[in-house]
Structure 1
Amino acid sequence: MSPVRRLLVRALPLLLSVLLAGCGAPAAHDTAERDVRDAVAAWSRTPPAQLAGIPLEGWGYEVSAVRRDGAQATARAELHYRLTGYDAAPAGSAREVRLGRDGGRWRVTGDRAAPGAPPQLWDQGPVEVVRGAHSLVLGVGQDAGTLSAIAADADRAVPAASAAWPGPWAGRVVVLVPGSLDRMAELLGRPAAEYRGMGAVTTGRVGAAAAPADRVVVNPEGWAELSTAGRGVILTHEVTHVATRAATTARTPLWLSEGFADWAAYRGGATTPQQAAPALGRAVRRGELPGALPADEAFAFGGDPEALARAYEGAWLACRMIAAKWGDAALVRLYELAGRKSPAAALEETLGTGPAGLTAAWQASLREELAAP
């Protein structure tokens, strides 16, 4: 036998043992990962006890990846749940579940938002729950009186939004009230500076027919500075965004979506353009009549607050003018079509005019409504 052949024969048992060991490793790894997944599944069959007051259904964690380090493990998962009576489809949340090995079994030791993902309200502390006739208010770090007052405001806002928007929608709203502006920003995954001075914002995906209900998120610091009437206007504005969500798409111009929400909020009230559009009024009296309806970028936060105010005020007055000149039904129909057609086509079909004609009519109304001091 040649020296090379003898070397191969002697090495064969060693090679076989290495290959067998290598084949066995994935099986052991797969078993451990399966045990971690099973532990997460068993733990997540029911919501945690601290969430008992929140009406939840369909609660479950879907594990996407497992990382083990000795007796510790971390599972990346997607939490799915619905708020009973409010969500038409499951809400989602990226989570990181921590586990430890105890007595030969994996046990969950912690759960938090995945890195880079916004937290859930209950990650910020114990949640207080107030149910209104048309609203579900969830708060952290807020007294019951504040949450009850917000629920009452929301219960008035829902019928007001429904009166302005006759299209189908759930007729219910979920309101989240975190403990501070910074906590609000955490929930939204954005810098706190973007929401300073605001009373509330709305979350949600535009044009989603079967999406979870939008959440109206209150800025408690901005909310505290509002008058009673101002709170009603803000909530009706945000609830109108919820009502119109299915008809709103990326094609819907912001002057129409924001202006319509303000039109719904002020509709039927005694607020005059001089009172509700002070920034635009000052500009018009200086001879600075806008040359065009506000562009989408004019509604971006973080810039000149006076310019932002003029954009919102101009959008409201545009929708107010359309309703006054062509009728409420024409404004609603314009909103419905603007999400599916070009602005020119939507305007021509509903108002019988184009962008230039609408702009001219709007400018004339601004002179009439705001020129006098």
Structure 2
Amino acid sequence: MLTASGCTAPETSDTAVRAIQRLLDGRAAAVLGHDRGGYLAALAPGATRLRAAQLKEFQNLAQVPLRSWEYRLGKVRRQGGRAVAEAELRYRIDGYDTAPVTAPRTLELAERDGRWYVTADRAAKGGAQQLWQQGEVTAVRGSRSLILGVGQDAERLRALAATADRAVPAVSDAWPGSWAGRVVVLVPRSLEAMGSLLGAPAAGYRGIAAVTTGERAAAGTSPADRVIVNPEAYGVLGDFGRSVVLTHETTHVATRAHTSAATPMWLSEGFADWVAYRGTGHPTGQAAPELQRAIRRGEVPAALPDDSDFAFGAGADALARAYEGGWLACELIAARWGEKRLTAFYRAVGEGQHRAGADEKALNDVLGTTPGEFTVRWRDYLRERLGG
């Protein structure tokens, strides 16, 4: 995992690096073994405030079903008996993750009597909080879901699990092929706490009921995605709205391995909405009210939504029109070419190495059309579905 030439500063000896790695290995084993004493043994004896905070985090983790927990040591900078180490925390939830979640950490350490101790542990610059750093985690297992919440009523978490359990088979029916077939949902205490989990200002997610985070995984494994719920926006939705939200986000989990930098936002978000509304019989105008109002004013979009149209700062109305336009583009493909072609198109676009030309090639290879022709069809479809 570590080589002196690639991962350490010149002044840090191999001996010190190996000792620090052994310390972190012991700390990881203590987490998995629920060994309170072993976990605290890695911390500097006199660091009272640190030990209290770390003990609280250790206790908050009690209900999280961990399968693995490890630290991969990166660059180490040492000055005398002190060191600062960049490390990557990698953990997996048992029964759900085949690839680890990674969280960059910055550790400060001190050497005393020939032994290293942790004196500070924080998220690396630009990194995000973990759920157990926000409070005691309550875990509720569904048949196809795991709900992890902080500061939430258990009944509310059970209701979320029931909704997620219905979303998973709905997604599997629309997205044939291999995916995990299960979902992990995080429910923080508040909108502000949601922002901390995402490492971003909370204001950007006001009114957004949930988001999905994830990482590209190695071939043959499934990414460890997380659906993060905004308890404030999700809480004001009715049963139908909650079902749409969790089915949409679960679609992102299912399609992650086939979504790449070549995939435009109108396709990834539009497909997720298409799956969420598929088979519900929900009236198009009710699902696309902003775009319907624009169409009835004679304001038919000239082109498919651009990625910038999906920015949270674009304004609520513009953001809604972008989502609605992407959804109806996917509905058009399903109606005109069939659902199998829609999923094949999604996969084909995701196989592209670059954004430029990826959708054009997939439109030609899978649907036998061009971007210009497809845009004309889409604009006509908007008038047909929303103009009445």
**TM-score by shorter chain over 0.5:** yes
Which protein shows a greater Rg?
A: 1
Q: Deviations over 1:104-139 (max 9, x none)?
A: 754446533234321211111111111111111111
For 1:36 and 1:57, the matched residues in 2 are separated by: 23
| 1:67–1:73 CA contact under 8 A, matched in 2 | yes
Match of 2:342 among 320, 326, 331: 331
* Aligned mates of 1:285, 1:347 — CA distance in 2: 29
Q: Choose from 29, 40, 46 the match for 1:45.
A: 29
Quote how far apart the aligned CAs of 1:96 are: 3.2
Conservation of the 8 A alpha-carbon contact between 1:87 and 1:211: yes
Q: In the alignment, what sits opposite 1:351? A: 367
**Take 1:182 and 1:301, find their aligned partners in 2: how far apart are those partners?**
16
Identify if the C-alpha distance between structure 1 residues 27 and 116 changes in structure 2 by more than 3 Å, giving closer, same or farther.
Answer: closer
**Structure 1 residues 170-249: aligned runs within 5 Å:** 170-205=180-215, 209=219, 210=221, 212-249=223-260
- Change in CA separation of 1:190 and 1:142 when aligned onto 2, cut-off 3 Å: same
Q: Contact 1:259/1:316 (CA < 8 Å) preserved in 2? A: yes
User: What amino acid sits opposite 1:150 in the alignment?
Assistant: L
Equivalent position of 2:380 in the other structure: 364
2:74 paired with 1:58: no
TM-score (norm 2): 0.82
* Structure 1 equivalent of residue 123 of structure 2: 113
Alpha carbons 1:136, 1:173 under 8 Å: kept: yes
The alignment status of 1:250 with 2:266, answered yes or no, reads no
Q: Deviations over 1:166-201 (max 9, x none)?
A: 021010111111111111111111121221100000
Q: Secondary structure at the match of 1:197?
A: coil
| Contact 2:60-2:133 within 8 A present in 1 as well | no
Name stretches of at least 5 consecutive residues in structure 2 with no aligned partner: 1-9, 32-57, 353-357
> Which letter maps to 1:322?
I
Q: Aligned pair 1:270/2:281, yes or no?
A: yes
Q: Give secondary structure in 1 for the equivalent of 2:127.
A: coil
Counterpart-to-counterpart distance in 2, 1:94 and 1:234:
29
Give the Cα separation in 2 of the matches to 1:196 and 1:67: 40
CA distance in 2, matches of 1:100, 1:121: 27
Measured at CA, do residues 318 and 206 of structure 1 come closer, stay the same or move farther in structure 2, by a change above 3 Å?
farther
User: What one-letter code is carried by the residue in structure 2 that aligns with 1:119?
Assistant: Q
How far has the Cα of 1:308 moved from its partner? 1.1
The more displaced of 231-240 and 74-83 is 74-83
Alpha-carbon distance between aligned partners in 2 of 1:348 and 1:197, rounded to the nearest angstrom: 38
Provide the aligned C-alpha RMSD in A.
Answer: 2.5
Per the alignment, residue 302 of structure 2 pairs with: 291
Change (3 A) 1:69 1:340: closer
Is the contact made by 1:206 and 1:250 (CA closer than 8 Å) also made in structure 2? no
Q: For 1:317 and 1:355, how far apart are their aligned partners in 2? A: 16
Are the aligned partners of 2:216 and 2:223 in contact in 1 as well (CA < 8 Å)? no
Residue type matched to 1:253 in 2? P
TM-score by length of 1: 0.85
Identity of counterpart residues, as a percentage?
56
1:276 Cα offset (Å): 0.6
**How many equivalent pairs are there?**
347
1:205-228 deviation digits (Å, cap 9, x = unpaired): 358643532111111111112111
